[in-house]
Amino acid sequence: MTQALAPAWLVAGTDTEIGKTLVSCALLGLLARRHARVVGAKPVSAGNDPQGINEDVAQLRAASTLAVPPELDNTYALPLPMSPHAAAGRASTPIDLQRIVDAVQRLRGQADAVIVEGVGGFLVPLSMLEDGGDLARRLRLPVILVVGLRLGCLNHSLLTQEAIAARGLTLAGWVGNHVDPRMLQPQDSIDLLRARLRAPCLGIIPHLPRPDAAAAAACLQWSP
Protein backbone atom coordinates (compact mmCIF):
# COMPACT_ATOMS: atom_id res chain seq x y z
CA MET A 1 0.00 0.00 0.00
CA THR A 2 1.32 3.44 -0.94
CA GLN A 3 1.82 5.72 2.04
CA ALA A 4 -0.31 8.86 1.95
CA LEU A 5 1.76 12.02 1.79
CA ALA A 6 1.25 14.88 4.21
CA PRO A 7 -0.19 18.12 2.83
CA ALA A 8 2.43 20.64 1.78
CA TRP A 9 2.53 24.19 0.44
CA LEU A 10 5.13 26.19 -1.45
CA VAL A 11 5.73 29.73 -0.17
CA ALA A 12 6.84 31.88 -3.09
CA GLY A 13 7.67 35.57 -3.22
CA THR A 14 7.28 38.54 -5.50
CA ASP A 15 10.95 39.33 -4.90
CA THR A 16 13.77 38.68 -2.48
CA GLU A 17 13.83 40.08 1.08
CA ILE A 18 10.06 40.46 1.29
CA GLY A 19 9.28 38.16 4.23
CA LYS A 20 8.94 34.63 2.85
CA THR A 21 10.67 33.19 5.91
CA LEU A 22 8.53 35.25 8.29
CA VAL A 23 5.35 34.03 6.62
CA SER A 24 6.63 30.45 6.39
CA CYS A 25 7.35 30.41 10.13
CA ALA A 26 3.95 31.95 10.84
CA LEU A 27 2.26 29.24 8.77
CA LEU A 28 4.22 26.56 10.61
CA GLY A 29 3.00 28.03 13.89
CA LEU A 30 -0.61 27.81 12.71
CA LEU A 31 -0.12 24.25 11.46
CA ALA A 32 1.44 23.23 14.78
CA ARG A 33 -1.85 24.00 16.51
CA ARG A 34 -3.43 21.15 14.55
CA HIS A 35 -0.56 18.76 13.88
CA ALA A 36 2.13 17.23 16.08
CA ARG A 37 4.78 16.99 13.38
CA VAL A 38 5.25 20.04 11.17
CA VAL A 39 8.41 20.90 9.31
CA GLY A 40 9.66 23.77 7.21
CA ALA A 41 12.18 23.37 4.41
CA LYS A 42 14.22 25.73 2.28
CA PRO A 43 15.60 23.42 -0.41
CA VAL A 44 18.01 26.06 -1.74
CA SER A 45 19.62 28.71 0.45
CA ALA A 46 22.34 31.16 -0.54
CA GLY A 47 24.42 32.89 2.10
CA ASN A 48 25.67 31.57 5.43
CA ASP A 49 26.88 33.20 8.64
CA PRO A 50 30.47 32.65 9.87
CA GLN A 51 29.34 29.40 11.48
CA GLY A 52 28.09 28.12 8.13
CA ILE A 53 24.38 28.46 9.01
CA ASN A 54 21.78 30.15 6.82
CA GLU A 55 19.59 32.47 8.91
CA ASP A 56 16.37 31.59 7.08
CA VAL A 57 16.97 27.87 7.54
CA ALA A 58 17.68 28.38 11.24
CA GLN A 59 14.36 30.21 11.67
CA LEU A 60 12.45 27.49 9.85
CA ARG A 61 14.02 24.81 12.03
CA ALA A 62 13.12 26.76 15.17
CA ALA A 63 9.50 26.99 13.99
CA SER A 64 9.29 23.28 13.12
CA THR A 65 8.27 20.58 15.58
CA LEU A 66 10.04 17.78 13.70
CA ALA A 67 13.82 17.65 13.34
CA VAL A 68 15.06 16.13 10.10
CA PRO A 69 18.48 15.61 8.48
CA PRO A 70 19.81 18.76 6.77
CA GLU A 71 19.77 17.12 3.35
CA LEU A 72 15.98 17.02 3.63
CA ASP A 73 15.16 20.53 4.86
CA ASN A 74 18.09 22.37 3.23
CA THR A 75 19.24 20.21 0.33
CA TYR A 76 21.50 22.89 -1.14
CA ALA A 77 23.20 25.18 1.40
CA LEU A 78 25.24 27.50 -0.80
CA PRO A 79 27.78 29.69 1.06
CA LEU A 80 27.65 32.92 -0.94
CA PRO A 81 24.72 35.41 -0.82
CA MET A 82 24.20 35.51 -4.57
CA SER A 83 21.63 34.42 -7.10
CA PRO A 84 21.35 30.63 -6.58
CA HIS A 85 22.64 29.81 -10.05
CA ALA A 86 25.75 31.93 -9.42
CA ALA A 87 26.22 30.69 -5.85
CA ALA A 88 25.92 27.10 -7.05
CA GLY A 89 28.47 27.75 -9.78
CA ARG A 90 30.93 29.29 -7.33
CA ALA A 91 30.50 26.30 -5.03
CA SER A 92 30.81 23.83 -7.94
CA THR A 93 27.52 22.35 -6.75
CA PRO A 94 24.97 22.13 -9.58
CA ILE A 95 21.38 22.11 -8.36
CA ASP A 96 19.53 18.90 -9.24
CA LEU A 97 15.76 19.51 -9.14
CA GLN A 98 14.96 15.82 -8.79
CA ARG A 99 17.07 15.62 -5.65
CA ILE A 100 14.94 18.40 -4.16
CA VAL A 101 11.70 16.73 -5.23
CA ASP A 102 12.82 13.49 -3.60
CA ALA A 103 13.74 15.31 -0.37
CA VAL A 104 10.33 17.01 -0.20
CA GLN A 105 8.60 13.69 -0.81
CA ARG A 106 10.53 12.16 2.07
CA LEU A 107 9.55 15.08 4.31
CA ARG A 108 5.91 14.57 3.41
CA GLY A 109 6.28 10.92 4.36
CA GLN A 110 7.62 11.77 7.82
CA ALA A 111 5.63 14.86 8.82
CA ASP A 112 1.97 15.73 9.25
CA ALA A 113 2.34 18.99 7.28
CA VAL A 114 5.16 20.66 5.36
CA ILE A 115 5.96 24.23 4.35
CA VAL A 116 8.50 24.61 1.53
CA GLU A 117 10.03 28.07 1.19
CA GLY A 118 11.30 29.14 -2.19
CA VAL A 119 14.42 31.21 -2.73
CA GLY A 120 14.25 34.75 -4.06
CA GLY A 121 11.41 35.55 -6.47
CA PHE A 122 9.35 32.86 -8.17
CA LEU A 123 11.49 32.71 -11.32
CA VAL A 124 14.90 33.12 -9.71
CA PRO A 125 17.49 31.18 -11.77
CA LEU A 126 18.71 27.92 -10.23
CA SER A 127 20.98 27.17 -13.18
CA MET A 128 21.58 28.60 -16.64
CA LEU A 129 18.55 26.64 -17.89
CA GLU A 130 16.21 26.09 -14.90
CA ASP A 131 14.54 28.38 -12.39
CA GLY A 132 12.25 28.42 -9.38
CA GLY A 133 9.23 28.03 -11.64
CA ASP A 134 10.65 24.76 -12.98
CA LEU A 135 11.11 23.51 -9.42
CA ALA A 136 7.57 24.56 -8.49
CA ARG A 137 6.20 22.68 -11.50
CA ARG A 138 8.09 19.56 -10.42
CA LEU A 139 6.88 19.84 -6.80
CA ARG A 140 3.23 20.34 -7.85
CA LEU A 141 2.33 22.05 -4.57
CA PRO A 142 -0.29 24.75 -4.01
CA VAL A 143 1.43 28.13 -3.84
CA ILE A 144 1.09 30.79 -1.16
CA LEU A 145 2.42 34.07 -2.52
CA VAL A 146 4.10 36.61 -0.25
CA VAL A 147 3.73 40.14 -1.59
CA GLY A 148 6.28 42.63 -0.29
CA LEU A 149 4.24 45.82 0.01
CA ARG A 150 6.45 48.48 -1.53
CA LEU A 151 6.65 50.48 -4.73
CA GLY A 152 6.56 48.06 -7.67
CA CYS A 153 4.69 45.30 -5.86
CA LEU A 154 1.63 45.46 -8.12
CA ASN A 155 3.53 44.62 -11.28
CA HIS A 156 5.59 41.97 -9.48
CA SER A 157 2.48 40.36 -8.01
CA LEU A 158 0.50 40.24 -11.23
CA LEU A 159 3.45 38.90 -13.21
CA THR A 160 4.08 36.23 -10.58
CA GLN A 161 0.43 35.22 -10.63
CA GLU A 162 0.64 34.69 -14.39
CA ALA A 163 3.88 32.71 -14.04
CA ILE A 164 2.25 30.43 -11.45
CA ALA A 165 -0.81 29.89 -13.65
CA ALA A 166 1.33 29.23 -16.73
CA ARG A 167 2.86 26.26 -14.94
CA GLY A 168 -0.51 24.76 -14.13
CA LEU A 169 -0.19 25.44 -10.41
CA THR A 170 -2.79 26.56 -7.90
CA LEU A 171 -2.40 29.93 -6.22
CA ALA A 172 -3.88 28.99 -2.84
CA GLY A 173 -3.66 32.46 -1.33
CA TRP A 174 -1.51 35.52 -0.81
CA VAL A 175 -0.13 37.46 2.13
CA GLY A 176 0.75 41.14 2.07
CA ASN A 177 3.77 42.14 4.14
CA HIS A 178 4.55 45.81 4.84
CA VAL A 179 8.28 45.73 4.16
CA ASP A 180 8.54 49.47 3.45
CA PRO A 181 7.02 51.67 6.17
CA ARG A 182 7.49 54.71 3.89
CA MET A 183 5.25 53.36 1.14
CA LEU A 184 2.64 55.95 0.17
CA GLN A 185 -1.02 54.94 0.41
CA PRO A 186 -0.42 51.17 0.79
CA GLN A 187 -4.15 50.52 1.13
CA ASP A 188 -4.62 51.51 -2.52
CA SER A 189 -2.25 48.73 -3.54
CA ILE A 190 -3.86 46.24 -1.18
CA ASP A 191 -7.30 47.01 -2.63
CA LEU A 192 -6.05 46.43 -6.15
CA LEU A 193 -4.38 43.17 -5.18
CA ARG A 194 -7.59 41.95 -3.56
CA ALA A 195 -9.38 42.69 -6.82
CA ARG A 196 -6.78 41.36 -9.26
CA LEU A 197 -5.17 38.36 -7.58
CA ARG A 198 -7.25 35.25 -8.23
CA ALA A 199 -6.86 33.82 -4.74
CA PRO A 200 -7.93 34.80 -1.22
CA CYS A 201 -5.93 37.23 0.86
CA LEU A 202 -4.74 35.27 3.90
CA GLY A 203 -3.75 38.38 5.81
CA ILE A 204 -1.84 41.64 5.85
CA ILE A 205 1.19 41.86 8.14
CA PRO A 206 2.06 45.33 9.43
CA HIS A 207 5.62 46.58 9.37
CA LEU A 208 7.44 44.83 12.22
CA PRO A 209 10.62 46.36 13.69
CA ARG A 210 12.01 42.84 13.78
CA PRO A 211 10.64 39.55 12.39
CA ASP A 212 8.18 37.94 14.81
CA ALA A 213 6.46 34.81 13.56
CA ALA A 214 3.89 34.79 16.37
CA ALA A 215 2.90 38.39 15.65
CA ALA A 216 2.69 37.61 11.94
CA ALA A 217 0.58 34.50 12.57
CA ALA A 218 -1.90 36.61 14.52
CA CYS A 219 -2.51 38.60 11.31
CA LEU A 220 -3.32 35.56 9.18
CA GLN A 221 -6.63 33.87 8.49
CA TRP A 222 -5.76 30.45 7.15
CA SER A 223 -7.62 27.17 7.57
CA PRO A 224 -5.74 24.51 5.63
Question: Active-site residue numbers?
Answer: 42
What crossing angle do the helices spanning 153-166 and 186-196 adopt, rounded to 10°? 20
What does the angle CA 108 – CA 28 – CA 155 come to, to the nearest 5 degrees?
A: 100
Give the pairing of strands 76-78 and 44-46: parallel
Task: Judge residue 166's burial from the number of C-beta atoms within 10 Å of its C-beta, 0-12 exposed, 13-18 middle, 19 or more buried.
Answer: exposed
Distance between CA atoms of 55 and 210, rounded to whole angstroms?
Answer: 14
Q: Give residues with Cβ within 8 angstroms of 92, minimum separation 6.
A: none
At 38 the three-state DSSP class reads: strand
What does the angle CA 120 – CA 195 – CA 18 come to, to the nearest 5 degrees?
A: 20
How crowded is the C-beta side of 3, counted as CA atoms within 13 Å?
Answer: 11
Give the pairing of strands 38-41 and 113-117: parallel
How crowded is the C-beta side of 178, counted as CA atoms within 13 Å?
Answer: 18
User: Of 42, 11, 13, which is closest to residue 120 (Cα–Cα)?
Assistant: 13
